[in-house]
Chain A
């Protein structure tokens, strides 16, 4: 109780724009009140030119970077580099949680198909359900039957596994006549982890050893 009171006192000291800055920073992922305060004071004491550059890049990134209309990956045009590349195999689709996972998989040079970025994983704790992910878009892409292998490459943690299970059950009807194969990355990936942090060799091997998923 004393500790909470002490924290409240820290927050109430700053007013106006300084407090606004601390609040905004505190909304960023992995930044607690203490860190927000530290960053805010760092910015207050920093060279105005440096701060202006940071502010510019923040505005520019929001104005110029978009999400690919097809796969949801970050893009600087309507479609991302992978979707625009005619050499990529359109029959193999790899489903990932975030754009950063696309970067991780591209580094392995093991995969020549295309991607579908969900925008997260199912997690009721965070209020994320299937409707909050790009699952409807995925079903649309699968509808014409041109995709023959769907690789579920969500993170090897509980939420990623649950999302993979959910998707596998959802697309199961499409696998009936053998027109679509569903695979999951081979284990060997550290369980409870993020795809992004898996090293290239491990991730590459996981791609080679991917297995069919029965549900």
Chain B
């Protein structure tokens, strides 16, 4: 697929932008602070309804404006879909598909798929578990948009349960353990949380099973030797039979080519989550927050040089961390491609960070993409094999330059 047109209203530094885009390589060139990343960020937002730079939407709206609009025409095979997002910080966003309003913004997810490489990717390796969860969940939704609904259900149930736990813990504190708070509805929230959580977990585990070998392969190509490992680290035992102090949990069930075990896996995860919730209930009531479940899980990134796997977060060198982040992103690109829909590749300021070998590899991947958009401060930062349309970015405007061949 490719993005054939992008329009922005009051997005970041752009009061208004109309930009026609072509297949193949497009390079946004301009000095620092002119608005190159803002364009990439807008395209990423159109695909994922989230920014790769900030967690909140407010900074995305041009200073002084009330809302931002991002609109894109996506060509896939011989059809064009028009998606439009209105970003209203503090309130809910609104979305349109082919000019008609949709019920919920998440109904337009999946029409545009992107894979974005940016300096921020280093946080995948070095940052908090939340970074890795977000990466997994975004990829999950990109592959199957219905998971946006599963995520929303889980988050809503979590919010309700936390609100109940918080009021219970406040009541307990006020009564110094005398009065017992009414927890008669906690069972109900546990049941709903375990159900939504199990669907989310099963999907994450399945995704990781598909992603791991691709990441290892990509790491091998970039770093010169294999040994990248991705392993799901749940916040509670996922085997329903482990009731007490299970340290390690097998999370990779036997291969199941017929997919028959899928339903059973979800059921088992639901049972495991229910057990974990009931086991941690006393502490949760005490602290007023849900302590186990997919919102507390992590993915371990580890590198094995031959002498055993070491966690990349604490052991990897700067270069190795970069290679790992790059490998994980390349793996997600491969995975999306293998589903049969070419995602739009977005490369923000990455070439300047890489050594020659990694530059060459990434350039080769980029050259093979149906559409790739690259930002660079100067033309020289872009590997020469990536010929294509140049766009000059200056002071919040983008003008088409010459095609370099």
A: residues with CB less than 8 A from B are 2-3, 32, 122-125, 127, 129-131, 158-159, 161-162, 165-166, 169, 192
Contact = CB atoms under 8 A, between A and B. Distances in A.
Given A2-B63, A129-B182, A192-B104, 4 more contacts: A124-B164, A131-B182, A161-B192, A165-B192
Contact of A123 (B89, B104, B160, B191): B160
B158 to A, nearest CB: 11
B189 interface: yes
Nearest to B63: A2
Would you list the 7 A-B pairs with minimal beta carbon distance, nearest first?
A: A124-B163, A124-B164, A125-B163, A166-B188, A165-B188, A162-B188, A158-B156
Interface string B217-256: 0000000000000000000000000000000000000000
Contacts of B192: 158, 161-162, 165
B160 A169 contact: no
Give the most central of A127, A130, A158, A169: most B CB within 10 Å.
A158
Give the most central of B64, B156, B187, B188: most A CB within 10 Å.
B188
B58 interface: yes
B163 A3 contact: no
Contacts of A162: 160, 185, 188-189, 192
A3 B91 CA distance: 14
B156 A130 contact: no
A166 to B, nearest CB: 5
A88 to B, nearest CB: 30
B157 A169 contact: no
A124 B153 contact: no
B159 interface: yes
A161 B195 CA distance: 12
23 contacts: A2-B64, A123-B160, A124-B161, A124-B163, A124-B189, A125-B159, A125-B160, A127-B167, A129-B182, A130-B182, A130-B184, A131-B182, A158-B156, A158-B160, A158-B192, A159-B160, A162-B185, A162-B189, A165-B191, A165-B192, A166-B188, A169-B187, A192-B104
A158 B157 contact: yes
Interface in B368-387: none
Interface of B: 58, 63-64, 89, 91, 104, 149, 153, 156-157, 159-161, 163-164, 167, 182, 184-185, 187-189, 191-192
A165 B184 CA distance: 12
Nearest to B154: A158
Nearest to B58: A3
A63 B187 CA distance: 40
A162 B189 CA distance: 7
A45 to B, nearest CB: 24
Contact of A124 (B58, B104, B167, B187): B167
A129 B167 CA distance: 11
Contacts of A123: 160
Contacts of A127: 167
Given A125-B160, A125-B163, A158 B153 contact: yes
Nearest to B153: A158
Nearest to A127: B167
A122 B185 contact: yes
Contacts of B153: 158
A159 B167 CA distance: 18
Contacts of B163: 124-125
A152 to B, nearest CB: 13
Given A3-B58, A129-B182, A131-B182, A122 B188 contact: yes
A124 B160 contact: yes
A162 B196 CA distance: 13
Nearest to A162: B188
B200 to A, nearest CB: 14
A159 B91 CA distance: 20
Nearest to B157: A158
B254 to A, nearest CB: 31
Contacts of B156: 158
A157 to B, nearest CB: 9
Nearest to A165: B188
B149 to A, nearest CB: 8
A3 B10 CA distance: 14
B188 A169 contact: yes
A123 B63 CA distance: 36
Contacts of B160: 123-125, 158-159, 162
A179 to B, nearest CB: 24
Contacts of B91: 32
A70 to B, nearest CB: 25
Contacts of A158: 153, 156-157, 160, 192
A129 B186 CA distance: 11
A129 B185 contact: yes
Nearest to A7: B90
A209 B157 CA distance: 27
A122 B192 CA distance: 13
Contacts of B185: 122, 124, 129-130, 162, 166
A122 B187 CA distance: 13
Contacts of B159: 125
A158 B150 CA distance: 12
A192 B182 CA distance: 27
Contacts of A169: 187-188
Contacts of B167: 124, 127
Nearest to B66: A3
A105 B115 CA distance: 47
A116 to B, nearest CB: 19
A130 B187 CA distance: 13
Contacts of A125: 159-160, 163
B222 to A, nearest CB: 42
